[in-house]
Amino acid sequence: MGKSKALQGLKVIDLTSALSGPFCTMFFADFGADVIKIEPVGGEQCRTWGPIDEVSGESGFFASVNRNKKGCTLNLKSEKGLQMFYDLVKDADIVCENYKGGVTKKLKIDYETLKKINPRLIYVSGSGFGQTSPLKTRPCYDIVAQAMGGLMYMTGYPEMPPVKAGPSIADHVSGIYQMVGAMIALYYREKTGKGQLVDVAMVDTIFSMLENAIPFYTMSNQILERKGNIDASIAPFDVFPCKDGYVAFGVGNDKMWARLCKVMDREDLLEDERFATNELRRENYKPALYEIMSEYAGRHTKKEIETIMAEVDVPCGPVLSVKEAIEHPQIQSRDMMVHVQHPTAGDLYIQGIVPKLSESPGEVVAPSPLVGQHNREVFGLTEEEEKQLKAEGVI
């Protein structure tokens, strides 16, 4: 690219596994930090998560969030392994981990231990329940966080059991919060020279995303129930069936509503007292307004509706499959899918980088590492030393 990388020179030690932690450290790696991913001997848990490449045995899941990193293995329960880790910490800027509460202290790699080795260290801890919670020692995956954070109770249709959001949003957004917390801590360190602990919980993350459900309860004592795609504050704000699939509408104010009525050739609705304001449209949404919108959508294809609404500046979009989303001009024009050559799995087509920086852009330059691929480079080992440490079960 020819442009400097924003985080070049930053040393990040990545002890994370599964999704939220690796998603965090992926951002550091994408923007030029030297990210050293340390896995248990034999590799971390999500190397076994599908899809699995039939020829190489590599995990597509692992590959998608571990690009641009150096891969090492280390037995932190061994005396030699622990000392090798401490040696890396001495000049590290950031350590990231996502063990459940209590594990890092048992392993002697907790923040209180490591800050004695390196007082400037920023220690990022991602977990299900956080370091100060009465539940801190419990294990947690995304589905548990979505359940306990309040999101699942509101997601789905009233006649159906609660459902989680499709992708693992607790993991992804927690990873983003971890990255943001680390960058804030780095800025603080620039001013003071002091490192600190960054503590992010997945349940906190989901709770922070409840949006207007919180003021609905605290201001009016209403508990938002499952309503499918309907929004509690805006109408029409829903998904409607059309000739070849579904389209999503978000009509957020009266001006948009007026433009929508005109383009639908239903200007009579502007005189209908049931729909005179957003609040009235919300109150009279089902069945009246829902049926009107469904009848209109049902006469058109996804593309037709998208084109019509774009011309009158009404927020609307087709519901796309993963294949359709990958191939859509929006995704393609933003480089949101990129190719990377993996040493055993070959060409991998994976997600690109979201933040587009004009002067120091991120870049996907390397695939996810093989198990222990960079042991010699990172630990400064000879071939003979590497063989000996492997035989001892240290790496």
What residues have CB less than 8 Å from 183, skipping those under 6 apart?
A: none
124: which 2 tokens?
Answer: 């990022």
Which residue reads 């220690």 in tokens? 123
171 is an active site residue: yes
Question: First vs last Cα of the chain: how many Å apart?
Answer: 35
Q: Are 193 and 121 in contact (CB under 8 A)?
A: no
Q: What's the CA gap between 148 and 150, in Å, rounded?
A: 6
288 secondary structure, DSSP code: I
How far apart CA 84 and CA 366 sit, in angstroms, is 25
314, 251 Cβ separation under 8 angstroms: yes
Q: With left for phi above 0 and alpha for psi between -120 and 50, is residue 9 left, alpha or beta?
A: left
Strands 245-250 and 316-318: antiparallel
DSSP code at position 342: E
Q: Which of 14, 93, 171, 204 is catalytic?
A: 171
Beta strands 94-97 and 70-73 are unpaired
The number of beta carbons lying within 10 Å of the beta carbon of residue 273 is: 8
Catalytic residues: 171
